[in-house]
């Protein structure tokens, strides 16, 4: 399966809830009662379209080709005050971090953040009241009842924002996927060309005393990404949900470390200024190519307002120190 075909973080679906059942106009009759009073039951509620969180899912792939979700209609009320059957609910299971939006207005309806959490995306129509509700001293045999409410048909957007403790931010070929493959069991695609990573990857990073945290490898950002260049801002939204941002700058960059760091910062700020308040750590990658003299020289180029470490994923240099910095940032 080609990379990216099994990761879907955006789907647009048409949700149609069920119509409510009509109330009954039945009048009581049996062999002992020729003209009984009203005993028509209420109609059943139409089925909801419900979204449910599932911690075992990590993509919206199972909804990619399901464009129409149709819930069942409620049954009409019956005699002897019998309420009609409730319409069948349609339950859409989604990964945690999924946001539901109205497709026309873009308004956020709700967010799913806990396993087993359920929210009604499109409510079903209410069932109509039976004629039993309308009897009175002056209207003893009402021969009318309420019709059921119609269901709703709405286009909705389900958008996944990955939940992770640490998000890797850097230009293409900064060593993000290599780091994730070394510190976790994740197997992202790694190659010597730009945009090898086309979809986010998640990995569980082991830490001391049986502790661990989740690391997300976000596809590379280039200058102008916030305006749609490269892969654009499609994957920038995944960075919003990460507790800590790990900026990665390769030691062989053609710019200075500060320049590269500031470009990355600028792109995040243009996309969402709130990202600037997240804890940050800087990793200078591919440092196995540097000798001690070059390392000391490059330390002078490092920004002063951020904790940093020189690492090498291939040589596994200073990875424990990097984990320590990340753990401290996560638990600030």
Q: Is 197 annotated as a binding residue?
A: yes
Q: Is 313 annotated as a binding residue?
A: yes
Q: Is 245 annotated as a binding residue?
A: no
What ranges make up the beta strands (E) of 21-140? 49-53, 68-70, 90-94, 98-102, 108-112, 118-122
Q: Is 205 annotated as a binding residue?
A: no
Q: Is 175 annotated as a binding residue?
A: yes
Q: Is 170 annotated as a binding residue?
A: yes
Computed from CA positions of residues 43, 48, 52, 58, in that sequence, does the dihedral angle turn out positive or negative? Answer: positive
Q: Is 177 annotated as a binding residue?
A: yes
Q: Is 105 annotated as a binding residue?
A: no
Q: Is 218 annotated as a binding residue?
A: yes
Q: Is 320 annotated as a binding residue?
A: no
Contacts 24+ apart (CB under 8 A), 177-183: 177/201, 177/217, 178/285, 178/313, 178/314, 179/217, 179/248, 179/283, 179/285, 179/311, 179/313, 180/215, 180/217, 181/313, 182/313, 182/314, 182/316, 182/319, 183/215, 183/313, 183/319, 183/323
Which among 146, 139, 149 has a CA at the least distance from the CA of 38?
139
Q: Is 196 annotated as a binding residue?
A: yes
Q: Is 286 annotated as a binding residue?
A: yes
Q: Is 312 annotated as a binding residue?
A: yes
Q: Is 174 annotated as a binding residue?
A: yes
CA–CA dist 243, 241 (Å, integer): 6
Q: Is 231 annotated as a binding residue?
A: no
Q: Is 220 annotated as a binding residue?
A: yes
**Binding site for Mg(2+): residue ranges?**
177, 197
**Binding site for GTP: residue ranges?**
170-177, 195-199, 217-220, 285-288, 312-314
**Binding site: residue ranges?**
170-177, 195-199, 217-220, 285-288, 312-314
């Amino acid at each position: 399966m080609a990379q990216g075909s099994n990761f879907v973080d955006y789907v647009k679906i048409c949700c149609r809830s069920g119509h409510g059942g009509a109330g009954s106009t039945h009048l009581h009759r049996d062999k002992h009662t020729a003209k009984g009073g009203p005993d028509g039951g209420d109609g059943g509620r139409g089925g909801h379209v419900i979204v449910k969180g599932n911690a075992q899912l990590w993509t919206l792939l199972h909804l990619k080709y399901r464009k129409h979700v149709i819930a069942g209609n409620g049954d009409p009320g019956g005699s002897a005050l019998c309420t009609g059957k409730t319409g069948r609910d349609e339950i859409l299971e989604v990964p945690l971090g999924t946001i539901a939006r109205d497709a026309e207005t873009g308004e956020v309806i709700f967010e799913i953040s806990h396993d087993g959490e359920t929210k009604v995306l499109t409510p079903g129509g209410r069932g109509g009241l039976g004629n039993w509700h309308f009897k009175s001293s002056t209207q003893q045999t009402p021969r009318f009842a309420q019709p059921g409410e119609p269901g709703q048909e709405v286009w909705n957007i389900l958008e996944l924002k990955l939940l992770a403790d640490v998000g890797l931010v850097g230009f293409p070929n900064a060593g993000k996927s290599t780091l994730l493959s070394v510190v976790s069991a994740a197997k992202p695609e790694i190659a010597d060309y730009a945009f090898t990573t086309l979809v986010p990857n998640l990995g569980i990073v082991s830490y001391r005393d049986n502790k661990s945290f989740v690391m997300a490898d976000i596809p590379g950002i280039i200058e102008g990404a916030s305006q749609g260049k490269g892969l654009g801002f499609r994957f920038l939204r995944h960075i919003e949900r990460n507790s800590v941002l790990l900026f990665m700058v390769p030691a062989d960059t053609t710019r200075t470390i500060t320049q590269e760091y500031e470009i990355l910062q600028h792109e995040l700020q243009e996309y969402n200024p709130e990202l600037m308040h997240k804890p940050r750590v800087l990793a200078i990658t591919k440092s196995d190519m540097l000798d001690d003299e070059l390392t000391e020289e490059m330390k002078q180029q490092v920004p002063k307002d951020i904790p940093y470490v020189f690492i090498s994923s291939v040589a596994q240099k200073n990875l424990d120190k990097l984990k320590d910095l990340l753990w401290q940032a996560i638990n600030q």
